[in-house]
Amino acid sequence: MVKSVFAAALLAMLAVAPIPVSAQGIGFGFHYGDDPDDFLPQLPMCLTDRQIRDSLAQRGFSNVALNVANEDPIQARGTQDGWVYLIDFNYCADYVINVERLRPAQ
């Protein structure tokens, strides 16, 4: 009985022991502020729709259409070099996160 109580206590202590960061697995969406994008300087105010379109136009996109900005980043669609692209854009740091080619432009 004493052995089983001791074994249970040992297992409980091991279950709550801290795990080294290098041994941890998937982060499950936790955000610790260590991504390179986290160190981008934020603008004093986020860009307006017009400023977002102008910023993407300066990057070579035309016919820019914006999705509804629920959170940062916003998604936009724009044309460049005969292709339509889906653009993930951080409108509070004026930064293009990702560009995905969708289809040929018409």
Task: Encode pLDDT of 21-53 as tens digits.
Answer: 444 455 555 555 556 555 565 666 788 899 999
Q: How confident is the model at residue 83 (pLDDT cuts 50, 70, 90)?
A: very high
Output the pLDDT for position 35.
60
Of all helices (H) and strands (E), which one includes residue 43? none
Over residues 73-88, mean pLDDT: 94
**In Å, how far are 32, 33, 52, 70 from 39, measured between CA atoms?**
12, 8, 20, 22
Q: What percent of the chain has pLDDT over 70?
A: 58
Q: pLDDT: is 12 or 37 the higher one?
A: 12
Query: In this structure, are residues 61 and 78 in contact, taking their beta carbons and an 8 Å threshold?
Result: yes
Q: What is the mean pLDDT of residues 5-28?
A: 57
The average pLDDT across 57-81 equals: 90
Q: Which pLDDT belongs to residue 20?
A: 52
Dihedral through CA 95, CA 100, CA 104, CA 106, nearest 10? -40
Instruction: Report how far residue 14's alpha carbon sits from residue 89's, in angstroms, rounded to the nearest whole number.
Output: 44
| Single-letter code of the amino acid located at 106 | Q
Strands 62-66 and 83-90: unpaired
